[in-house]
Amino acid sequence: MSKATIYNVALKAGVSLATVSRTLNNPEKVKKETRDRVMNVIEELGYKPNAFAKGLASRRSTSVAVVVPDMSRSSIAEMVNGVAVEAKKYQYSLILYVLKDENRGEAEMLKEVVASQADGILYMNDEINEEQYAMLNTIQEDYKVPIVLANTLYPYDNKLVTVCIDYFKAGYEATNRLVQEGRKNIYMLTTARKYMVNDLKEAGYIKAMKEAGLETNIIRTSGDITVNTVHFNELFKDQGKKIDGVIAVRDSIAVSFINTMIEKGKKIPKDISVFGFQNTKYASLSRPKLSCVDIPIIDIGAKAMALLKKEIDGEHIEQKFNVLHHDIIERGTTIK
């Protein structure tokens, strides 16, 4: 009973191929009795339409390509979870492309994505630059493949549908909380690599500092925690460096900073207040628990998938740029 084809089903149910196809794709166009009979046979034979044949004939794959930079980043993984749940609603399958250690150009990979016949592309690479954005645009236009950016954005243009939060505002708000606590020497810890979203957090931080008449201090460090721990030790070796507040672009960076400082005898939050970004498990597992910007990352994934589905179905999306709501969570690393 390896593989039942539509032909087997038709034969056994005593109907034509067309009718079987219709019972599956346009059930309302088939009389109930016939439909039931066909469905029974389908059940009996364990028939599932061959995805290739279906794709070839219909020119639709009911699958979307999911492009991610690196699965091991907690935010990416959570987002994929959200995408998966939403995709299931539409019976869409996910084709995964992990860019990590990708040495061929991204262009090559995107061509592959197109060749895979995916009905749409969910682009989650936050390390996006002008060139890539242009490429994505070309693909969307030339190949008519809808693209949605999830938790990433290209702020200088908005031809592509985007789901994100207002990272600028979040950075601004988090910084302001520390300013309101009376902190004067507030640092921003960000990644050495240029992620668009981190640039926005940084811009928000700068704005808040400027408004408060404070001096900005931006430290670019590695996303790798073993590396940045060393870095922090180096940086704050001389106790002369005044620091009483920190905004980190990732929870993990915030936590490794906290650990470094506590080992140096600093009190958190008495001496230094710390804010993270994302509200990952790292934040809950930190001691004290990390205050952070809560980002609805699962919702971003789900919303992005939902919008992509709409685009695929040809619906016009009036709102290209979709901003989801974020929260500021105060826990143990800031003073209420």
Partner DNA sequence: GTGAATTAAGGTGGTACCGCGGTTAGTTTA
Partner DNA sequence: TAAACTAACCGCGGTACCACCTTAATTCAC
- Closest separation in Å from C-beta 117 to DNA: 9
Which of its own copies, DNA, none does residue 80 bind to, with CB < 5 to 8 Å depending on kind? Answer: its own copies
- The mark string for 53-92 relative to DNA (x by CB under 7 A, - otherwise) is xx-xxxxx--------------------------------
Binding status of residue 285 toward DNA by CB under 7 A: no
Binding status of residue 286 toward its own copies by CB under 8 A: yes
Binding status of residue 216 toward its own copies by CB under 8 A: no
Element (H, E) at 173: helix 167-180
- Produce one character per residue of 203-237: b if its CB has 16 or more CB atoms within 10 Å, e if not: ebbbbbbeebebeebebbbebebeebbebbeebbe
Binding status of residue 230 toward its own copies by CB under 8 A: no
Give the torsion through C-alpha atoms of 71, 73, 74, 76, to 10 deg: -60
Cβ proximity to DNA: between 6 and 83 the closer is 6
Which of DNA, its own copies, none does residue 102 bind to, with CB < 5 to 8 Å depending on kind? Answer: its own copies
Q: At what angle do helices 17-25 and 6-13 cross, to 10 degrees?
A: 110
Which of its own copies, DNA, none does residue 6 bind to, with CB < 5 to 8 Å depending on kind? Answer: DNA
Binding status of residue 21 toward DNA by CB under 7 A: yes
**Are 151 and 195 within 8 A, CB to CB?**
no
Could you list the beta-strand ranges (E) of the chain. Answer: 63-68, 93-98, 120-123, 147-150, 161-165, 186-191, 217-221, 245-248, 273-278, 291-294, 321-324, 327-329
| Binding segment (CB under 8 A) for its own copies, from list 45-53, 146-154, 161-169, 180-188 | 45-53
> What CA–CA distance (Å, rounded) separates 65 from 238?
49
Closest CA to 179 of 128, 214, 142, 152: 214
Task: Give, as ranges, the residues between 70 and 89 that touch its own copies (CB under 8 A).
Answer: 70-72, 74, 76-78, 80-81, 84-85, 88
Token pair 């990433």: residue:
152
- Closest separation in Å from C-beta 204 to its own copies: 25
DSSP state of 289: P
> Which of 30, 66, 121, 148 lies at the binding interface for DNA (CB under 7 A)?
30
Binding status of residue 100 toward its own copies by CB under 8 A: yes
DSSP, residue by residue, 45-63: HT----HHHHHHHHS--SE
**Are 142 and 293 within 8 A, CB to CB?**
no
Alpha helices by DSSP H, listed for 48-129, are: 51-58, 74-89, 106-115
Binding status of residue 209 toward DNA by CB under 7 A: no
> Which of 3, 88, 159, 281 lies at the binding interface for DNA (CB under 7 A)?
3
Cβ proximity to DNA: between 29 and 194 the closer is 29
> What CA–CA distance (Å, rounded) separates 149 from 107?
17
> Which of 46, 89, 315, 321 lies at the binding interface for its own copies (CB under 8 A)?
46
Interface with DNA: number of residues (CB under 7 A)? 35
Cβ proximity to DNA: between 92 and 195 the closer is 92
Binding site residues, DNA, CB under 7 A: 3, 5-7, 14-22, 24-26, 28-31, 33-35, 47-50, 52-54, 56-60
User: Which residues of this protein are in contact with its own copies, per CB under 8 A?
Assistant: 1-3, 46, 48-53, 55-56, 61, 63, 66, 70-72, 74, 76-78, 80-81, 84-85, 88, 93-98, 100-102, 111-112, 114-117, 142-144, 225-226, 252, 255-256, 258-259, 262-263, 281-282, 284-287
